Structure 1
Amino acid sequence: MRGRRGNLAAETVVRSRRLRREAGEPERRLWHVLRQSLPEAKFRRQVPLGPYHADFCSHGARLIVEVDGDDHATRIATDEARTRFLTDEGYRVIRFTNAEVMQMIDAVLASIAHALVEDGRP
């Protein structure tokens, strides 16, 4: 029996690994906090979903957390299309800026925890 990874194109797996390896400081910081504070949510990082990679995804909670860098200010239409696709796949998407993660990590974590309990999931 092949696992889920066996169903992905080799390029997708390579890209996921590269994105994890090259994560910026805000993503690394949030990953550390999620693993320590919300382990029951079982977040994964750089999860391929269709043509996109979600920064952080809890499949059980159907929640995606995106950390947006400065370049996202110029990609509003692209981000809207991405969010629409992920929402159509049954996920709720919440976004934080790099600055929010770096300067207000406790508030970011509280927002994520709140989103997890809003739907009555882990």
Structure 2
Amino acid sequence: SALAEPQYRAALTQVAARLVDHAEPYYDSAREGVAALPLRSAWAIASARNVYRQIGIEVKRRGPRAWDRRTGTGKAAKLWLLAKGAGSALGSRFSERDPAARPASLWQRPGASADVPHAAHAELA
């Protein structure tokens, strides 16, 4: 992609770092929300959360070098993150936290009021 060309690396690095930072509340929400899912689904979501979060952390850590080669997780790391996802899914069965208590702002349009029903937002678009 032309965006990965060296002359764009500084700007691309800043945007990627901001996206990784902005993703954290969504990763936190996913961690809390797995309690509301069936166990197998919770395990899948928790594992995917761990893997994709780790890739984002690695992209941010590499900075401009993140586009020199594909950023990912190795097999050993993936297995660890899969096991960690299983632990999160199982642990969520015993959690006393309320998954519904997650911030509503995470799944609403920016500037949308939390007390206005979703259908009302569709009419504004």
Q: If each structure's helix is expressed as a fraction of its own residues, which one has the higher value?
A: 2
TM-score interval, normalised by the smaller of the two chains: under 0.3
TM norm structure 1: 0.27
